[in-house]
Structure 1
Amino acid sequence: MKLAYFSLSWRLMAVLLLVCGGLGLATPARADIVTLTANDNGKQVQLNVGDQLIIRLPTISPRFGWRLTQTYPGQLTPTTVHSLPGISSGVPGAPATFEIHFQATGTGGLDLALVSAQPGTGYSTLGGFFHVFVTIDKPGVAKNVNVTEYGNHSRVKVNKGDQLQIRLDNTAGAQYQWEVMPITDNVIQLVTPPPAQAGKKPKKKAKAGSEEDVTFQFQALNPGKTTLRFLYRNASNNEAPPKRDFELEVEVPEPPR
């Protein structure tokens, strides 16, 4: 009788597992840990909310490290920082490794850029600069994707409905201005900035010659691939060659069915 009871219980358990699996009641997916080294410089990284990102980069000694070029509130939060000897950084012969941990806390896309605390030491193939583009997704949630000039000549993937914001360096009061080249397809469109709200104080004008950012806002419309191109041109002389340019390859994948 005991053997029969055990056999029946085992079969009942198997049936319950099959039913639960069919109803989508499987155990929740755990957060992933993504580790990057110097070999990943320039790559795209896909994370989900809750994932952990670890970056390991070479340093001349444990006394030196790397620093972030900006912060990413609400999207990527630094949790711990270490500078240790003997940890692989992707660069053979590097005497030490700087390690920084992040937690993905919110959806979005961002340029994650770090600069070496002591560039030019010869222990890094990065030239004192490390950059990856990080996309943090949450199923069914549109996100804001932010790209700075660090992302020049790179690629980014955005979903239909996502907002893509490109922020470029500019000099206040200069004759040169950023100009977006015409977009000939229907993959992504430039969003006209909303008019200033009545009664709202205008933004303080930047002092001539000071550094300021100019922002272009786009929205992903349809699946496909396109290239956004910007030229930094002399506004008073159309025949003058541009000082610099910015290009970004954009892919909008087919939505999941």
Structure 2
Amino acid sequence: MKLTSLTAAVLLRFSILLLLGVTFLSPTSARADIVTLTANDNGKQVQLNVGDQLTIRLPTISPRFGWRLTQSYPGQLTVTTTNVLPGISSGVPGAPATFEIHFQATGTGGLDLALVSAQPGTGYSTLGGFFHVFVTIDKPGVAKNVNITEYGNHSQVKVNQGDQLQIRLDNTAGSQYTWEVMPIANNVVQLVTPSPTQPAKKAKRKAKAGSDEDITFQFQALNPGKTTLRFLYRNAANNEAPPKRDFELEVEVPEPPR
């Protein structure tokens, strides 16, 4: 009888310790978040961590039509599945169907995530056939490269101290117009000048005059604060001429965690 009571007490104590161990260990286990966006989130900034899942639901005129990405994002966002479903919420009341696309955050960085209606002019939405959000993907202790295109004009972006910020603007090959960076008011970010000693890359075919090409500006986030980066598309042969267009981006570098 004493042996049975002792055995029961030992088993009870072991069970309590085991439960406590599970309680102590469970908060430290990594858990990926699932972030869902609808048409109401058009133009917003989204924060993800590596491993998170992102779902975007947009209205469409029928299950036969959907949306498509304007570009791919290798090493950062991977498309896992796409569906066109009737009756699911897209953020637009009365939409006949919803296009749903699922992503997995696979690497750090910042990017303009843009989608256009698969049938321009026929898509049922209040978005005008265009959806855009800015996505940043973080991983603790890892600096990231943040890439902005002209889709991000007049928007805001948050980057961490040490991050690289790359702005890619549309240009016309052979044109007298060129992009010019306006002076930066403070020491929050700094324009990085490409090193002339960089290894030579494989020569690219020269762009044909009048064709579209990109010009890229690279910055580094130096200090906490806020600043505005502004670019003007000017006639290089006539400084008095008004700029043809401009690009503006508000940049915030938060205080690093202590």
TM (normalized to structure 2)? Answer: 0.92
Aligned equivalents of 1:179, 1:40: Cα separation in 2: 32
Q: Note closer, same or farther for the CA distance 1:195–1:88 as it changes in structure 2 (3 Å cut).
A: same
Q: Does 1:4 align with 2:5?
A: no
Query: Which string of whole-angstrom CA distances, capped at 9 and with x for unpartnered residues, describes residues 109-131 of structure 1?
Result: 00000001123347211110000
CA drift of 1:105 comes to: 0.7
User: Aligned equivalents of 2:21 and 2:138: distance in 1?
Assistant: 32
Provide Cα deviations, 1:117-150, integer angstroms capped at 9, x if missing partner: 1233472111100000000110000000000000
Deviation of 1:85 after TM superposition, in Å, equals: 1.0
Give 2:14's aligned amino acid.
S
- Aligned match of 1:61: 62
1:1-257 equivalences in 2 (<5 Å): 1=5, 4-13=9-18, 16=21, 20=24, 26-121=27-122, 123-195=124-196, 197=198, 202-257=203-258
Instruction: Give 1:27 shift.
Output: 4.0
Among the aligned pairs, what percent are the same residue?
83
Structure 1, unpaired ranges of 5+: none
Kindly provide the amino acid, as one letter, of the partner of residue 169 in structure 1.
D
Distance 2:191 2:198 in 1: 21
Q: Compared with structure 1, are the counterparts of its residues 12 and 117 closer, same or farther at alpha carbon in structure 2 (3 Å cutoff)?
A: closer
Change (3 A) 1:195 1:98: same
Let me know the Cα RMSD of the aligned residues.
Answer: 1.9
**CA distance 1:12–1:152, shift in 2 (3 Å):** same
| Cα distance change on mapping 1:198 and 1:70 into 2, 3 Å | closer
- 1:199-247 Cα offsets, whole Å, 9 max, x none, are 6554432111010000000000000010100011111111111111101
Aligned-partner SS, 1:9: helix
Cα 1:199–1:111, aligned 2, differ >3 Å: closer, same or farther? closer
The Cα of 1:253 is off from its aligned counterpart by 0.6
Say how many residue pairs are matched.
253
2:94, 2:120 → 1: CA distance?
16
Distance in 2, matches of 1:199 and 1:52, equals 38
